[in-house]
Amino acid sequence: MAEVKLLNVGKVYEGGNVAVKDVSIEIKDKEFVVLVGPSGCGKSTTLRMIAGLEEITEGELFIDGKKVNDVSPKDRDIAMVFQNYALYPHMSVYENMAFGLKLRKFSKDEIDKRVKEAAKILSLEDYLERKPKALSGGQRQRVAVGRAIVRKPKVFLFDEPLSNLDAKLRVQMRTEISKLHHSLEATMIYVTHDQTEAMTMGDRIVIMKDGIVHQVDTPLNLYNHPSNRFVAGFIGSPSMNFVEGKIIQNNGLEFQSNNKKLEIPVSKNPERLKNHVNKKVWLGIRPEDIFEFSSRPDSNNLNEVNTKLEVVEPMGNEIFLYFVIEGEQFTSRIPAREKPNAGSNINLYFDSSKLHFFDFETEVVL
Amino acid sequence: MKNKKNLVSNILTYLFLLLFCAIALYPVINVFTISIRPGDKLLSTSLAIIPDGATFNSYVELFTNRPFLLWMWNSFLVSGVVTFTGVALASTAGYALSRYNFVGKKSSMLGLLTTQMFPATMLLLPMYIMLIQLQLINSYLGLIIIYSATALPFCVWQMKGYYDTIPYSLEESARIDGCNKWQAFYKIIFPLASPALVITALFSFMTAWSEYIVAAQVIQYTELFTLPLGLKSFESRLGAEWGLYAAASLIVSIPVVVLFVVLSKWLVSGLTLGSVKG
């Protein structure tokens, strides 16, 4: 097991296309790190550079303290699980898992032992003689995982391994991979575009967009302290609400939206916004920090806003309320109770202690 | 009622199929009939499949008094080498064209395609001149070069097309599992491309096995003849030895049929089924 260190790593394709820019991440031994971001953000390219499938055009990559920029994939002691499984169709499940070990000249007994061990962990014992085409999607992905774990590599790489599975199987495999991480105590790097996967699986999450790392932190820190507007909007479902406006001085600092529909005092750390008085900012507030009357907490920080509900979505255990403030779509998440009617006017309460502010130009958190 | 209707349509279908089988088989049967006719009835118009006084004399003659076995060996030699060259070069060239980007890739593919636009007879003269200068007249090497050059463009294109359908992640997976680029090719991709390899092999073999025009220019000595040249030699200015001709024709076609039957087991689609999410 080993640590992985990326130092100012970049990827420029022929023709000048920049896929990844100046990425520096230190992944600790036995850590589960998730690279997440919208499609085209460079997360897969970064993973493929760690695997050695893409050439690193800038910067340095270290695995277990050794610089591996020019080491071929087979000598990096890594294993990778692909999105489309990439099983060898002409080999049985057993042969698929044994392939890497055979190439590395392991003894027959050792190969047999390891394959059977992996098959047991992944409940594949009954399928060892089958060809991949005779397996279901979930089983195929398990074989792909098995092929990785028999090798006992230093680092496991996962490239969106669950995105081809149906929703139920995805949740199941998610917990299986998490369990595997705990039992193998391995360093794992996992790429996904699904923020739920990222939040639930990662020890730390790397958020990328346009080839740039926006924030590296634990899931809860990302959620509670996003470093910019993109991260704030990307993490969390439904995502954070944003509205533009400015900070004004009025018995203390206050946020005022462009058309004064929202006027909320800044009750937490107002000093951070001192330099932004009369400047444009983005206000961000999470759906669960907007309450309706009956479920509102007992707090001095609530600010009443009257608005018209556009859509009401009952989810069973909670209800999503959709409304518009100054042209921006807002969502509130309230506990399930009697459902308010779409089209009705309702008083909602914004918790001013839970506000996030972002610079209007740079979108960096204030 | 329904059963009756089915029966009638079945009978009609089979009659239709039988008719076409007869059309396809008639020439073969006819050749067989001619091959076993006694020498004095070669020009008979009788339609009997087994003629009066049927004899295998032509076959005996072929193998005892004529260098037929030698020609057959020559043909096998030439076709075998052309097949091997075709498979070896087309499988690797197709792979390079499918997987790698290099300067001149597009133009070389277009170039290969362009060669297919010229009829072989048009190339006869320049090829002949080239072979003379290379001193390859009356040599199998000359023949093999020309046959390979004729078969390769098509084979390279179709190998490339087949490789394009094999997902790239299989090689990547193999390379992470411990293969170098070459191992990933021959351990993973090569076996998966077997349907295309079979087509390449058959096409190369057929190109050489039944070719006459080029062989007739390049090979002049009887002992170097390939089968088509040998067959033609049964024809003389005064007449043709139809019995020998027919017997030889049948024997010539046997290896091709056998090859098709043996290789057809690899001609299955869906080899890559289940490897990746489709």
ipTM, two decimals: 0.81
| Rounded Cα–Cα distance for residues A233 and B16 (Å) | 70
| Rounded Cα–Cα distance for residues A336 and B249 (Å) | 87
Confidence at residue B278, expressed as pLDDT on a 0 to 100 scale: 47
The residue type of A78 is: I
Query: Torsion angle, CA of A119/A120/A123/A126, rounded to 10 degrees?
Result: 70
Interchain CB distance below 8 Å, B175 and A72:
yes
| Rounded Cα–Cα distance for residues B45 and A47 (Å) | 78
Confidence at A15, pLDDT banded by 50, 70, 90:
confident
Residue B191 has pLDDT above 60, yes or no: yes
Q: Which ranges in A186-337 belong to alpha helices (H)? A: 195-201, 219-224, 229-234
Interchain CB distance below 8 Å, A90 and B176:
no
Residues of A in contact with B178 (CB under 8 A): 74, 99-100, 103-104
Residue B166 has pLDDT above 50, yes or no: yes
Confidence at residue A173, expressed as pLDDT on a 0 to 100 scale: 86
Residue B231 has pLDDT above 80, yes or no: yes
Confidence at residue B97, expressed as pLDDT on a 0 to 100 scale: 93
Residue B63 burial by Cβ neighbours in a 10 Å radius (0-12, 13-18, 19+): middle
Nearest CA-CA partner of A296 in A237, A351, A240? A351
- Dmax over Cα atoms in chain B, in whole Å? 77
Residue A185 burial by Cβ neighbours in a 10 Å radius (0-12, 13-18, 19+): exposed
Average pLDDT, rounded, for chain B = 87
For A108-145, what is each residue's pLDDT tens digit? 999 999 999 899 888 888 999 999 988 888 889 889 99
Range list of β-strands (E), B131-206:
none
Average pLDDT over every residue of B237-254? 84
Interchain CB distance below 8 Å, A72 and B174:
no
CA closest to A134 among chain B residues: B274
For A313-330, what is each residue's pLDDT tens digit? 998 889 999 999 888 899
Confidence at residue A168, expressed as pLDDT on a 0 to 100 scale: 85
Q: In this structure, what token pair is assigned to residue B67?
A: 């260098």
Interchain CB distance below 8 Å, B178 and A103:
yes
| Rounded Cα–Cα distance for residues A186 and B92 (Å) | 39
For B206-219, what is each residue's pLDDT tens digit? 889 988 888 988 88
Average pLDDT, rounded, for chain A = 89
| Rounded Cα–Cα distance for residues A143 and A86 (Å) | 10
Percent of chain B's residues with pLDDT above 70 = 93
Interchain CB distance below 8 Å, B177 and A100:
yes
Query: Torsion angle, CA of B45/B50/B52/B53, rounded to 10 degrees?
Result: 130
For B35-82, what is each residue's pLDDT tens digit? 888 876 666 777 777 877 788 888 888 888 888 899 999 999 999 999
DSSP, residue by residue, B162-227: HHHTS-HHHHHHHHHHT--HHHIIIIIIHHHTHHHHHHHHHHHHHHHHT--HHHHHH--SGGG--H
The upper half-sphere exposure of residue A288, i.e. CA atoms within 13 Å in the direction of its Cβ, equals 8
Residue B1 has pLDDT above 70, yes or no: no
| Rounded Cα–Cα distance for residues A36 and A158 (Å) | 12
Q: In this structure, what token pair is assigned to residue A303?
A: 């600010």
pTM: 0.81
Cis ω before A238 (30° cut-off from 0) = yes
Tokens 């277990």 found at: A64
Give the pairing type, strands A204-209 and A32-36: parallel
Angle between helices A108-121 and A93-103 (to 10 degrees): 130
Out of A164-173, A188-197, A240-249, least confident range: A164-173
Nearest chain B CA: its distance from A153 CA (Å):
10
Average pLDDT over every residue of A77-106? 91
CA distances from A327 to A30, A241, A363, B30 (A): 46, 12, 19, 87
| Rounded Cα–Cα distance for residues A331 and A242 (Å) | 10
Residue among B180, B188, B277 minimizing CB distance to A88: B188
| Rounded Cα–Cα distance for residues A347 and A307 (Å) | 6
The dihedral through the CA atoms of B18, B22, B24, B29 has a sign that is positive
The residue type of A64 is: D
Nearest CA-CA partner of A300 in A263, A254, A351, A249? A351
Q: In this structure, what token pair is assigned to residue A302?
A: 């609530």
Q: Which of the 8 DSSP states describes residue A250?
A: S
Residue among B178, B270, B272 minimizing CB distance to A104: B178
Confidence at residue A297, expressed as pLDDT on a 0 to 100 scale: 84
Strand partners, A18: A12
The upper half-sphere exposure of residue A107, i.e. CA atoms within 13 Å in the direction of its Cβ, equals 3
Average pLDDT over every residue of B247-265? 87
Residue among B177, B191, B273 minimizing CB distance to A99: B177
By a Cβ cutoff of 8 Å, what residues of chain A touch chain B?
51-53, 72-74, 78-80, 82-90, 99-100, 103-104, 131-135, 137, 140, 147, 151, 164
Three-state SS for B8? helix
Interchain CB distance below 8 Å, B178 and A80:
no
Three-state SS for A338? coil
Give the pairing type, strands A78-81 and A155-159: parallel
Strand partners, A212: A209
Residue A270 has pLDDT above 80, yes or no: no
CA closest to A79 among chain B residues: B176
Out of A18-32, B19-33, B252-266, least confident range: B252-266
Confidence at residue B270, expressed as pLDDT on a 0 to 100 scale: 52
Confidence at residue B274, expressed as pLDDT on a 0 to 100 scale: 56
Residues of A in contact with B179 (CB under 8 A): 74, 103
- Dmax over Cα atoms in chain A, in whole Å? 79
Dihedral class, residue B236 (left if φ above 0, else alpha if ψ from -120 to 50, else beta): beta
For A175-184, what is each residue's pLDDT tens digit? 888 988 988 8
Report which secondary-structure segment, H or E, holds A284. strand A280-285
| Rounded Cα–Cα distance for residues A169 and A176 (Å) | 10
| Rounded Cα–Cα distance for residues B46 and B33 (Å) | 10
Task: Please name each of the domains of chain B with its CATH number.
Answer: 2-55 (no CATH), 60-266 (1.10.3720.10)
Give the pairing type, strands A290-292 and A345-351: antiparallel
Q: In this structure, what token pair is assigned to residue A148?
A: 């990785």
Residue B271 has pLDDT above 70, yes or no: no
| Rounded Cα–Cα distance for residues A327 and B13 (Å) | 71
Residues of B in contact with A90 (CB under 8 A): 191-192, 271
Nearest CA-CA partner of A309 in A344, A267, A273? A344
